Every structure is written in C-alpha cells, then in structure tokens.
Structure 1
Amino acid sequence: MQTNFTPEQLADPGIARANEILRACVHCGFCTATCPSYQVLGDELDSPRGRIYLIKDMLENDRPADVKIVKHLDRCLSCLACMTTCPSGVHYMHLIDHARAHVERTYRRPFLDRMLRWTLAQIVPYPGRFRLAMGGAKLAKPFARFLPDARLRAMVGMAPKTIPPVSRNDDAQTFPAMGERKYRVALQIGCAQRALNTDINDATIRLLRRLGCEVVIPRNLGCCGALSHHMGREDESHAQAARNIHAYLSEGDLDAVIINTSGCGTTVKDYGHMFRQGPLAGEAAKVAALAKDVTEFLAQVGLPEGAPKGLRVAYHAACSLQHGQKVKSAPKDLLKRAGFEVVEPADSHLCCGSAGTYNLLQPEISEELKRRKVATLEARAPQVIAAGNIGCMIQIGSGTGVPVVHTVELLDWATGGPKPPALAATP
C-alpha cells in the first residue's frame, strides 16, 4: 500500500511503525475470510482491510477521529485472526492499538460511552473492586430488562451465580518445588481471573510445583495493562505494565514468567514493543522474552503421560493464544498426553465474542458470535469444554450447559491434583 506521510510525521515512532505496517498491506482481502465482525456484519469497513483504509486516511491527514471511524474501529474484536491469515505479514495488532490511542486522544465520545469505558477501566483490573461490582450486579439482575442501554444490561448480566472466596494463593509469596527444584518461575496471577475463578491459579501452582518448579508470586503485581491498552488508554496501560515489569525483575533470576490467561500473555509478550522508545526498553524486552503461556511452558519441560480418563474434551482455542501468541498445538497435545479424548469445533479459528471488554461494549455482535461458537462446540458432543482464557470461559459458559474449565485444571487433575469443581457432577 502506498503511503504519503511527511518527514515530520515519520519522526513520531508511532507513525513510523504505522507506516511500515500500512506499506506491507497489498489489499489482497484474505483477511476478510477470517474476520468475525465482517462475517456477522458484511460491511467492508468492518473488515481488517476496510479498517486499514480508515486508519490510513485518519493518520495521513493527521485529523481527529470521527463518528464513522470510531464505529468501525470499536467493532473490531482485536482477535488477530487476520494476522494468522495475512500472507504479507501485516502486523494489524500494532496498527489497531495505535489507532485506538489516537481515537482516545482526539475524539470525545458521548457521555454514556465515556462513563462506561471509564467504569470498566477503574473496576475490572482491580479484583477487590470487581468483586464488589459483581455483587452489585447480582442484586440488579432482576431489574436488568428495564435498563435503557444494551451495554448496561450486558454488564449486569455478566454477574456470576456465585463469587468465589479470595484465594490466599494469590498473595505475594514463594511456593517451593515438590522434590528437586528444576525451575524458578513467576506466575502472572491476573486481575479479573482472581475475582471470577480462583481455581485456575490454584491448579496452575499445584501443577508447576509437581513438575519441579519453585513458583513465585511477586510483590506489587497487578493488571498487565491489556484492558486499558485495548481501549486506547495508553498512560494507564503503560503505568500498569511498568509496575509489573519492576515486580518481575525484583524477584531476581527467573526461568519464565508463566501466564494462564492468554489475553494477558499477548500483551506481556508485547512489552518490548510498548516500551521500545523509553528508559524501560531493556527491562521490558527481558520480561517479554521470559513470558510463556502455561501450556507453552509445559510442552517444553514435559508432562507425565496420564491414564485414559474416558472424557471427551472440546478444546476452544482462544484468539489471543492461537493468533496473538501462535500457540496452537501445545494445549491439545498436552490434553491428549494427559489421557483425554480431544475434539475441535468447526471454524476453530473464529472468535467466541468475548475479546476482553467487547462482550460488554458490543453486546449484540458478541452475542451472535457466542451463539455460533457454542453451536460448533456442542456439535462435537463434548463432556467438557476446555479453554486457556478466563474471558472465553465466561463467554462460552453463559451459552451452554456443558461444563467449561481451564486447560490447566484438566492437566492438574490428570497428574495428581483434585478433580475440577466444575466437573463434580460428571462420572
């Protein structure tokens, strides 16, 4: 794609990076075949190619975002399926992130939109606040249908039936390896996950310790910055990311930073890019290089072979894992090695519609994507659905009666841990 940025514009590192990405695009349209929002809406401007044209026009002309641009950029899930499909290597993630930051700086959203986004940024990354908000949402559920906005109804509808008690395993501490220590790893404990499902971190810690890992929960660890980052709130996201970088490096030598929420993993692995121009560049790149999805790490260190469990598991590939991190075969291979029968749904490359806060900010499109995903999963007649991202688990679980668990919960169970609580009713 030909671009016409001025030398003055290209002096900005963000514009220079956008220029590189735009020039890589050859208008082939392969991305439209795998874009979930385009499949639902059928509008060229709701495809990656269409959004690239909008972003190019906005940035080249150095003008504020307008209603049209914001509508189509907001409808993007950032699922990154387009990056897997693109034959030209267009790094759409960096482009859409830069465009959203430009929108945040130059466009004044309607009042309710501003308030909803501010509320999400102030609540979801903080487990204590999130627990209180979910408690309030539970009380409001009977009145949800009277709320005037679909996004408000979606937020109230997100409240789970039960809110798990706080797990003390998430406190800053060090868990010794069981037997000989082979590795020393830090665990990214997540933020929303600590409020929604404490079983995931508990299972991860047990499994890693069983495999000879000393597991460190660093002090001052918080949100990785992903939620604010994908809403274009750069200052907030960079502050959160910087705090985590310091937290990890304060723990000394580590063999890996283990992440069991793939939405977080995609962002942490991009810390090197986020801080490439600043004083934290070296430290950020070091943490990014250490970051590994839990299944990625387990595939490297080896998992004991498990006895057949006689359980049919439908594996849902989270977009942030398969497209954002290119971790595709490891979770399935591990589940098979652990003794499970693994099946995949049709169109496994397509998003379930969760996408961070997308299911709250774009509930109609999200609901249609959830309906499609659940239908393809249930078509495989699974006894359980496994996924590697808490957002996907909540999204899919709200549309099916099949138990939904984290991949690591099944691997922990197969290697000596307790049966996942969500499977208590299964034989």
Structure 2
Amino acid sequence: MQTNLADFIRNTPDGAEADAILRKCVHCGFCTATCPTYQLLGDELDGPRGRIYLIKQMVEGTPVTRSTQTHLDRCLTCRNCESTCPSGVQYGRLVEIGRKLTEQKVPRPLGQRVLRRVLASFVPNEALFTPAMRLGQHVRPLLPKKLRDKVPARQRQLEWPASKHTRKMLMLAGCVQPSMMPNVNTATARVLDALGIETIVAPNAGCCGAIRLHLGYHDDALDDIRANIDAWWPYVEEGVEAIVMNASGCGATVKEYAHLLRDDPAYAERARRIVELTRDIAEILPEFEEPLTALTRRRAVHTVAFHPPCTLQHGQQIRGKVEHLLGELGIEVRLPADSHLCCGSAGTYSLTQPTLSYALRNQKLERLHAQEPQIIVSANVGCIAHLQSGTSTPVVHWIELVEHMLAG
C-alpha cells in the first residue's frame, strides 16, 4: 500500500512506524475472516482492512471524524488479524497510533470522557480498586445483575508458600487480580514452590500499563511501565531467572515494553532486558513436565473446555502449550469451535462497548458448553470474569487446576 504522510506526522516515530506497517498491507482481506467485530457487524470499516484504510487516511491528512473514532473504538485489539495476515502487518501497533491521533483530534462526548477517565484512574489503582471490590463482594447479592457480573464471588484464599529457594522468579501481581481472583497468583506461587522455585512479588510494581494504554492515556501508561521497571530492576540485578506472567493480557503488554520505550534513553535498555525475562507461566511449566507429572495426581476434574485468550494465542503467539501440559497431567482438554475468536472481554471493552462484548461472550459460551466440560479454564483474569458472568459452569485459571492436582 502506498502512503504519503501529512506534514504533522512526517519525520516522527509514530509516522515512521505507521508508514512501515501500512506499506506491508496488500488489502487481501484474509483478516476480515477472523475479525470478531466484522463477523458480528458485517461492516468493512469494523474489520481490520477497513480500519487500516481509515488510519491511512488519517496519517495522510484527511480530517478525522467521530465516525472514524467509533470504528476504532469497536476494535477489540484481539490481534487475531495478525495471526491471519500473510504479510505480517502489525495491526495492534497501528491501531494504537490511530487511536492516539483520534484522541488528539476528535473531542469525545462528555459521558465518554467521564467514563474513560474514571476507568483509567480507578481500575489500575490497587489502593482504590481493592477496597471497592471488597465492598462489592460483601454486598454482591444485593447488586443489580449488570454490576454483579463485574464482581466475582470472593475466594477462600490459599496460603502463600513460605519456603525459600535458591531459584527465584519475579511475578507481576497485577492491579485487579489480587482482589478479584487472588488464588491465581497464590496457585502460581505454590506450583513453582513445588518445583523448587521461589516467587517474589515486587511491592511497588502495579498495573502493567494496558488499561491506560488502550483507553488512550498513552503518557500515563508509560509512567506505569517505568514504575514497574524501577520496581523490578533491583531483582533483575540480583539475577532472577524470569518475570512470570499468569494474566496473558499483562504478559502481552509487558512484552511490548521495549517497543513502547524505544525512544526513552533512560529506560530503553532496561525495557529490553525486562522483555527478555518476561515469560507466561504457560511457557515456563512445560520445561518441568516430568517432575510436575510426578508431583500431581488426578482428582475429580478430568474434562475441561479451554478458552485460549487472544492475548495468549495472538498477542504472545503461545499456542498448544496449556493443552499439552494439562493433557500430560491426565486432563482431557477440549477446544471449542472457532477457539481463535475473542470472548469479548478485552480489558475495559465490556464497559465501553457492552452490546458487542456480551454478544461475543454468549457466542463463546455456547461453543464452550457444547464441549460438555466439567469446568472451563482460561489464562487471563478478564476473560475468566467475563465468561463466568454468563454461566453457572465454574470458570477458573488453568494454573488453579494444576495447583489443585498437587499431591502434597
């Protein structure tokens, strides 16, 4: 695709990147076949090819309209199109540039501005989010269904392992996971502990940056990222083996740190090192398949349906590892039809685009239920909460199932 950048973006980092990405696109349309919003709406402008064309117009100087902003807002950033694209178009990075430009050029209605500012200020702030979640869980039966859907029932918390080991790994606790689903982090630590690895949570590490980044608060997101690097760096210097991610959405974002801070001379090199160390738990445990098999035993759960989050299979390009590992532990894992499609969670998408979000959730649950599982497992806190809000079948993180199987 030929481009002719407008003066306002020519010779800028965003302009150079947008130009390179746009020139890779051959408008073949393969991406539309795997785009969830195009599947639902049937509108070319609500698919990757149409959005790419809108962004091309934008960087070439065509006036940006509210309509353009709406079509970009409807994108889940699931990056399914990247897995499909034969030309290697990095659509996720392009759409973030497009969103940044529309935020600068198109004033949002007051209601949207307030909602997005509240989400960007409240959700990534654990000091605000945790007490609010605790209160919500306490009065959960009294809440309206729409609000109750956003408040998972409180878990009976597992005990964090007390053992010390020579081998150590950092883990990002996350901003919402400690209060919504604390046992995901504890289960991760307990499984690693059984394998002789100590899990460390840096006290000053917080949100990975994804919430603010995808809501258009780019500078605030970069501040979140720098804060995490500062919190982790002393442990990196001490030689931790890895930074473990058990929320695939966070992992996909942290693996973009080097790109996001590429023009920051104070952080670019450290960000690159952080990316080198960052690994999803699904990348780590297959290396311990033999000892893990010896440490676990089959329990009542033997058949699960697995929803691989978009941030795992498309964002991080991790496929098949969870299914294989659980299979080796004696669990039958069933993938639903169209397992490559998004469940509609996508961070704050269920709050900013509820109609599309719940349509995708219901579609995904119908296909998961068709597998007749005892439980549904996934790999991201947002997907788990979103799916659980629409079904009585338990939805848990797959690492919780592994922890449950530990013989000790």
Normalising by structure 2, we get a TM-score of 0.92
**Following superposition of structure 1 onto structure 2, how do residues 8-407 of structure 1 map, counting pairs within 5 Å?**
9-61=9-61, 63=63, 65-134=64-133, 144=144, 154=146, 156-160=147-151, 162-164=153-155, 176-177=164-165, 181=166, 183-251=167-235, 252=237, 253-279=239-265, 280-302=267-289, 303-305=291-293, 306-309=296-299, 311-407=302-398
- Residue 284 of structure 2 aligns with an amino acid whose one-letter code is F
Counterpart contact for 2:21–2:91, Cα < 8 Å: yes
Work out the CA distance in 1 between the residues paired with 2:251 and 2:386.
19
- Structure 1 unaligned runs (5+)? 145-152, 418-427
Q: Secondary structure at the match of 1:9?
A: coil
Measured after TM superposition, the shift of residue 136 of structure 1 is 6.2
Taking structure 1 as reference, are residues 161 and 313 closer, same or farther at Cα in structure 2, changes over 3 Å only? closer
Counterpart contact for 1:135–1:159, Cα < 8 Å: no
Measured after TM superposition, the shift of residue 226 of structure 1 is 0.6
Q: Secondary structure at the match of 2:9?
A: helix
Measured after TM superposition, the shift of residue 232 of structure 1 is 1.6
Q: Secondary structure at the match of 2:169?
A: strand
Work out the CA distance in 1 between the residues paired with 2:73 and 2:286.
36
- Residue 88 of structure 1 aligns with an amino acid whose one-letter code is S
- Residue 31 of structure 1 aligns with an amino acid whose one-letter code is C
Q: Secondary structure at the match of 1:184?
A: strand
Work out the CA distance in 2 between the residues paired with 1:357 and 1:133.
17
Measured after TM superposition, the shift of residue 143 of structure 1 is 7.6
Aligned residues: 400
Taking structure 1 as reference, are residues 35 and 141 closer, same or farther at Cα in structure 2, changes over 3 Å only? farther
Taking structure 1 as reference, are residues 166 and 228 closer, same or farther at Cα in structure 2, changes over 3 Å only? farther
Work out the CA distance in 2 between the residues paired with 1:360 and 1:141.
21
Counterpart contact for 2:9–2:59, Cα < 8 Å: no
Counterpart contact for 1:319–1:351, Cα < 8 Å: yes
Moved more, 248-257 or 285-294: 248-257
**Following superposition of structure 1 onto structure 2, how do residues 405-424 of structure 1 map, counting pairs within 5 Å?**
405-416=396-407
- Residue 374 of structure 2 aligns with an amino acid whose one-letter code is Q
Taking structure 1 as reference, are residues 142 and 301 closer, same or farther at Cα in structure 2, changes over 3 Å only? closer
- Structure 2 unaligned runs (5+)? none
Q: CA deviation digits over 1:197-249, x for unaligned, max 9?
A: 11101101111111121221113111110110111211110000000011111
Q: Secondary structure at the match of 1:10?
A: coil
Work out the CA distance in 1 between the residues paired with 2:7 and 2:287.
46
Q: CA deviation digits over 1:232-287, x for unaligned, max 9?
A: 21111000000001111111212110000000000000001000111211000110
Counterpart contact for 2:177–2:381, Cα < 8 Å: yes
- Residue 80 of structure 1 aligns with an amino acid whose one-letter code is R
Counterpart contact for 2:123–2:176, Cα < 8 Å: yes
Q: Secondary structure at the match of 2:315?
A: coil
Q: Secondary structure at the match of 2:78?
A: coil
- Residue 355 of structure 1 aligns with an amino acid whose one-letter code is A
Q: CA deviation digits over 1:143-186, x for unaligned, max 9?
A: 85xxxxxxxx85x24342634588895xxx99623xxx3x3210
Taking structure 1 as reference, are residues 175 and 29 closer, same or farther at Cα in structure 2, changes over 3 Å only? farther
Measured after TM superposition, the shift of residue 23 of structure 1 is 0.4
Measured after TM superposition, the shift of residue 127 of structure 1 is 2.6
Work out the CA distance in 1 between the residues paired with 2:249 and 2:217.
17
Work out the CA distance in 1 between the residues paired with 2:381 and 2:349.
14
- Residue 104 of structure 1 aligns with an amino acid whose one-letter code is E
Q: CA deviation digits over 1:283-340, x for unaligned, max 9?
A: 0011011110011111234352244445101111000000000111111111111221
- Residue 340 of structure 2 aligns with an amino acid whose one-letter code is H
Q: Secondary structure at the match of 2:168?
A: strand
